[in-house]
Structure 1
Amino acid sequence: MRSTQLQRGEALRVIQDVLAYFDETTEGYVRRRHRELQGQGLVNAEIFEQIAAELRYRAVAPPELSLRQLRRIVYG
């Protein structure tokens, strides 16, 4: 709060969001992004390509996953 103009409640929400971001597993991220991208009208071929590209830029990047591995995370 001292270094920003956020009120106490706002600062707590920001901290919780950041902690949740770093706590999200690769599997959770893949499933969440799949739902979000589907909601935007993208088809699976586009979705899995985009997720594969995004995973490289995560704060702690997982080992590279194939498109097949990404599909198995979402659909089992």
Structure 2
Amino acid sequence: MWWLAVAMLEPVADEAPEDLVRHIVRTTGIPPAVAARVVSDVMGYFVETAEEYVLRRHGELQAQGVPNARIWPRLRDELDVRPVAAPPLSERQLRRIVYG
């Protein structure tokens, strides 16, 4: 069900701050529509909850053939450096997010 977590990351273009979009256009030279999409994607990244992140990353890592024994410590390490701090999660809590 990791694909549901990915689908939940909807763009938030309606909420993209116009001053930020203008800044991106001015500093990069990319078209306004592309800048708005970039801002929307970045904002979507930052609103992803720890649970959504764990579900998405677990699915990505499993698809790459990484065994769960290596996934759990990796997810804990990744959550430690997320831009929006996630609460500390044990391996058991990570497993419960994925498997219920």
* Partner in structure 2 of residue 32 of structure 1: 56
Alpha-carbon distance in 1 for matches of 2:53, 2:87 = 14
Alpha-carbon distance in 1 for matches of 2:60, 2:34 = 25
Percentage of pairs with the same residue:
55
In the alignment of these two chains, the number of paired residues is 76
Alpha-carbon distance in 2 for matches of 1:54, 1:64 = 11
TM-score normalised to the size of structure 1? 0.93
| Runs of 4 or more above 6 Å deviation | none
Alpha-carbon distance in 2 for matches of 1:18, 1:38 = 24
Shift in Å, 1:13: 1.5
5 Å-filtered alignment, 1:2-21, equals 2-21=26-45
TM-score normalised to the size of structure 2? 0.72
Shift in Å, 1:6: 1.1
How big is the alpha-carbon RMSD for the aligned residues of Structure 1 and Structure 2? 0.9
Q: 2:88 aligns with which of 59, 64, 70?
A: 64
Give the letter aligned to residue 68 of structure 1. R
- Secondary structure of residue in 2 paired with 1:2: helix
Q: Counting helix residues as a fraction of each chain, which structure ranks higher?
A: 2
Alpha-carbon distance in 2 for matches of 1:54, 1:47 = 10
